[in-house]
Amino acid sequence: MTDASVDQLLFSYGTLQQPDVQLDTFGRIVAGEPDWLPGYTVTYADIDDRRVVDLSGASRHPIVRPTGNRLDRVSGMVLHVTEEEVEAADEYEVALYRREAIVLASGRTAWVYVSS
C-alpha cells in the first residue's frame, strides 16, 4: 500500500485502536496519533453482535454523544486509513453507531462513529 492511498482520517476512541480488531478489520496495524474530540462525552453501550464481542473481547463498548459543551472532550487516536478501510470499519461497527465527519481539537476533520 502506498501513502497516497491512505487519505482518510478516522478518529477512534475505542476498540478500533486494538491491534487484533485492526488486523481483522483492516488487514494491518494502522498508523495514528493522539487527538481529542471536543463537545462530546463517552457512555457505554451493550453490544449483541457475537463476532464483534469475540473480536474485541468486550460486550460493552464506548460510544460518544454530543454535549454541546466545547469543554467536554474525548481522547482517542486519529487513524490514517483508505476509503476501503473506512468501509470495512462501517461493517465492523454495529447499528448503535453512525459515522460523521467532525472537526477534532487539532483542527483536522475525521470520521467519527457517534451514537445513532
**How many Cα atoms within 13 Å fall on the side-chain side of residue 98?**
5
Task: Dump pLDDT digits (tens) for 7-39.
Answer: 999 999 999 999 999 999 999 999 899 999 999
What pLDDT, on a 0 to 100 scale, did the predictor assign at position 4?
47
pLDDT at residue 93 is higher than 70: yes
What pLDDT, on a 0 to 100 scale, did the predictor assign at position 12?
96
Residues ≥6 apart with Cβ < 8 Å to 11: 35, 37, 76, 77, 78, 79, 102, 104, 110, 111, 112
Give me the mean pLDDT over the 42-54 stretch: 91
pLDDT at residue 3 is higher than 80: no
Q: Which domains does the chain have, with CATH numbers?
A: 3-115 (3.10.490.10)
Give me the mean pLDDT over the 43-49 stretch: 90
Q: Look-up: residue for cell 460493552?
A: 60
What pLDDT, on a 0 to 100 scale, did the predictor assign at position 107?
98
pLDDT at residue 55 is higher than 70: yes
**Which of 28-37, 43-52, 102-111 shows the lowest per-residue confidence on average (mean pLDDT)?**
43-52
